[in-house]
Structure 1
């Protein structure tokens, strides 16, 4: 397959200093930031939504916040496999876009929606199993009923999350990420407003507590999915991208399962490993569980924007490979890593230097005048543990940048079988180590967090080595269109 491995970058010929050359040309900082900036804002909107959600619940009670964190993690775990499939439609869209085959884009998106609908009965079948699921976690009697209630409510939003993820790919795969930024931000703001009304009871809403928080999320997810459907079905898109062609396509859905299936399993395995870690840490005690929930909630302020950056890198890999320009795709990945590292370093420094800025709201304190001495015994213990855990977060977030950027670059090329193999080994290792650390070795909270930090480092290095190996450069998930005499794809 032809590629551009020996062709010079446009940036090599660009005038100016190192910064100008870094910004210039395909795969450079200018292109990466153009695609990534809206995705970062979109990711931050989700972060703000979940962060405010847990902040409000923590002010209701610590048990409520911990229950919401545990239940939402379990709920997301049940969605990982189909979510990975639905999101992978973005790789098909990006490669078809790069290859100049726009009329294959709409049908690709709809296959993701069909997979979302097919998975819905299985998701809802888990609702009556919630009591059994959470009773096995071994958490306190005051927490388990809250976990069950929250999980049951969130389950009704699962189909909307999956279908919305598939329809988002219509815009993300083509690099039209501003649309995602606007829609996702408005949906997050709606969720925050509904949280305030539904948790505490305002403007005629009944005070629903943790269930109110769940219904606020469900309503926001369904409205967001409907907005994406309406945008995608505009007349111009039906004409240019065949978005009105919603019928199942056996061959196309087969390829989506072939390449997206390993991607979904990878997401399921890794989130499952994290879920096991969270459940086992919850067995250490209420203080340890609350501190872990806070630390992970705060960590999303670094994680989700870099996830948005890595998704931009995946999109650009797909587009440039669709153009048969693998060297440009590689440049986009390294550029994405540069930006991710700068952001991670900045936020991680704040985690260590000013932890109160991130933790104060959980305790009803002002971020600008934090005085932990005013906290009582339980809250003081949670505060002290959370401050230490943020140092772990600062360390593993920097390592997580490697993991996210390179795993999404490989996904953008279609190297999902290798990703699945790594996930089978590493996620199983994390689950086993989490169990042994708590149940057998009786590690402390800090010992458990040392394990997960080392796990992120090792996994990131494995994906980096695979990227450097270069097998991804010749991979494609789409069929190659015949080339006409004028060089255009038919």
Structure 2
């Protein structure tokens, strides 16, 4: 372990690339966590509506985010191959895709009511869900575009700028949440609409800061971030060839948890509120692992681009050790400190019986999260390694089969036909995560990814 610390793609390099991404994705979790803490203290209906509407909004974005996130792999492999001038061209193809995505996402404003009417939640909860969803989707294009621009830094392994920009967004969101939800000073009390507006404002700030950081003269000279803005049909086709499966994979992953939350909502408001709270806590611990997944994808991509897949093997094992150590501590906290974690969501507006019921359910549900946490970390690390090399089709089909066969079909059968309850639904999700971790470990161990690459083989170094 001591030797691995200082080796290329060892612990020190993984942490140098990964920790800023951990903080960056942690700030995304912090924004949603803050929304839910303030809303839990505002009203039970608001917290019950926040997670279904928030997940539904994220589900609508995640396909496009998954596509443009693959710009990260192209940038990493071009940097590894020394073809620096192709970095700007990759970035601009992602920008064009992001602009089209923004228009589509804004149009979802008009279908919000049918979506949440189908869910069958309580009428007041549904009304709040529609409000929250509509505001978030109007600002969703900023999220996709910011994801694209962040790849310019993360793909090169320079993740500190990504961290600083996202910290600025979180720093704006927290006071805006308090002001707009509760009404402070000249601002009216807006409730759940205020939480959504605060989130959109922070996302727009992140986009503006990324734009200022990327499109500089120095970056244009080295990476053609201004000069290479022409449409490149061949590069766009190659990016879509790998990015579209990446988008489908990301969409399916979020679809599982969206469907899961909507099914829980059919059981009752207490079950939905407890699940929302536990998922908010889980997200705060889980999102940093997405940062480590992007880090290993970057390091594997650079190793593949340089023609040295052994470096990718070392980066993956180093990342896995770090991820398992972190998630192991998180799992222990879920088992031994559940009430302390749930205390953040105590609401003065709810009656004592409702609070006691949500606390009892929350303690039990955190044990499910503790069971699948380590497998979740394992799945994210190995999936990041496979995506960094270009093995995205296997990832997509695995997610598709697992989503349908282990979550959607069993939940529909168990809840709608057999009348099974909350613990059965959580058991399906736990089994799904465990299987994904084991399958991606098997695929990685076969080593086929070491002979893959996403960039053109004949690209000359600049």
Same fold per superposition (TM over 0.5): yes
Counterpart-to-counterpart distance in 1, 2:230 and 2:54: 33
Partner residue, 1:382: 358
Shift of 1:203: 3.5
- Per-residue CA deviation, residues 155-186 of structure 1 (Å, 9 max, x unaligned), is 11110000000000000000110001111011
Partner residue, 1:408: 384
Equivalent in 348, 351, 355 of residue 338 of structure 2: 355
Partner residue, 1:450: 427
Q: Which has the larger radius of gyration?
A: 1
Determine helix, strand or coil for the equivalent of 2:231: coil
Question: 1:290 and 2:273 equivalent?
Answer: yes
Counterpart-to-counterpart distance in 2, 1:399 and 1:375: 37
Q: How do 1:177-192 and structure 2 match up within 5 A?
A: 177-192=159-174
Partner residue, 1:281: 264
Partner residue, 1:470: 447
Equivalent in 290, 303, 307 of residue 307 of structure 1: 290
Equivalent in 335, 343, 355 of residue 326 of structure 2: 343
Counterpart-to-counterpart distance in 2, 1:340 and 1:357: 24
- Structure 1 stretches of at least 4 aligned residues deviating more than 3 Å after TM superposition: none
Unpaired runs of 5+ in structure 1? 1-18, 366-373, 484-488
Partner residue, 1:154: 136
Question: 1:434 and 2:416 equivalent?
Answer: no
- Per-residue CA deviation, residues 375-410 of structure 1 (Å, 9 max, x unaligned), is 711110011000110111111111101111111111
Please report the RMSD computed on the Cα atoms of aligned residues, expressed in angstroms: 1.3
Partner residue, 1:417: 393
Equivalent in 86, 93, 100 of residue 75 of structure 2: 93
- Per-residue CA deviation, residues 192-227 of structure 1 (Å, 9 max, x unaligned), is 111111111114221111001111111111111111
Counterpart-to-counterpart distance in 1, 2:361 and 2:436: 26
Counterpart-to-counterpart distance in 2, 1:214 and 1:266: 26
Determine helix, strand or coil for the equivalent of 1:443: coil
Determine helix, strand or coil for the equivalent of 2:119: coil
Q: How do 1:123-142 and structure 2 match up within 5 A?
A: 123-142=105-124
What TM-score do you get using the length of structure 1 for normalisation?
0.92
Counterpart-to-counterpart distance in 2, 1:73 and 1:252: 32
Counterpart-to-counterpart distance in 1, 2:43 and 2:433: 31
Instruction: Decide whether the 8 Å contact of 1:276 with 1:434 is kept in 2.
Output: no
Counterpart-to-counterpart distance in 2, 1:65 and 1:462: 35
Q: How do 1:98-137 and structure 2 match up within 5 A?
A: 98-137=80-119
Instruction: Decide whether the 8 Å contact of 1:413 with 1:473 is kept in 2.
Output: yes
Determine helix, strand or coil for the equivalent of 2:319: helix
Question: 1:73 and 2:49 equivalent?
Answer: no
Question: 1:145 and 2:121 equivalent?
Answer: no
- 150 and 175 in structure 1: CA distance in 2 versus 1, 3 angstrom threshold: same
Counterpart-to-counterpart distance in 2, 1:375 and 1:355: 21
Question: 1:257 and 2:263 equivalent?
Answer: no
Which structure has more helix as a fraction of its residues? 2
Partner residue, 1:57: 39
- 105 and 413 in structure 1: CA distance in 2 versus 1, 3 angstrom threshold: same
Partner residue, 1:329: 312
What TM-score do you get using the length of structure 2 for normalisation?
0.97
